[in-house]
Amino acid sequence: ASVAQQAASLGWAVLLGVAVGLLYDVLRILRVRLKLRLLGAALDFLFWLPVTAAFFLFALIMGGGEVRITLLAGHFAGAVLYFRLLSPPVLRLGYALADLGGLFWRIATAPVRALGWCCKKIKKFLKNSFLYRRKWFKIRLLPEEMKDERQTRAARYRGDSNHADKTSRASD
- 144's enclosing H/E stretch is helix 110-158
- Between CA 139 and CA 148, with CA 145 as vertex, the angle to 5 degrees is 155
The closest alpha carbon to 28, from 52, 49, 44, belongs to: 44
Q: 58, 68 in Cβ contact below 8 A? A: no
**Average pLDDT of each block of 10 consecutive residues along the chain (172 residues)?**
86 95 95 88 93 92 84 94 96 95 93 92 78 56 68 78 56 56
The closest alpha carbon to 154, from 163, 167, 143, belongs to: 163
> What pLDDT is attached to residue 162?
55
> What pLDDT is attached to residue 25?
96
> What pLDDT is attached to residue 139?
52
Q: 27, 94 in Cβ contact below 8 A? A: no
Question: Which are the contacts of 59, defined by CB distance < 8 A and separation ≥ 6?
Answer: 65, 66, 67, 68, 71
Indicate the length of the chain as a whole number. 172
How many Å separate Cα 169 from the centre of its chain? 65
Give the span between the Cα atoms of 131 and 171, in whole angstroms: 36
Burial class (CB in 10 A: 0-12, 13-18, 19+), 150: exposed
Which amino acid is it at 41? A
Question: Which are the contacts of 49, defined by CB distance < 8 A and separation ≥ 6?
Answer: none
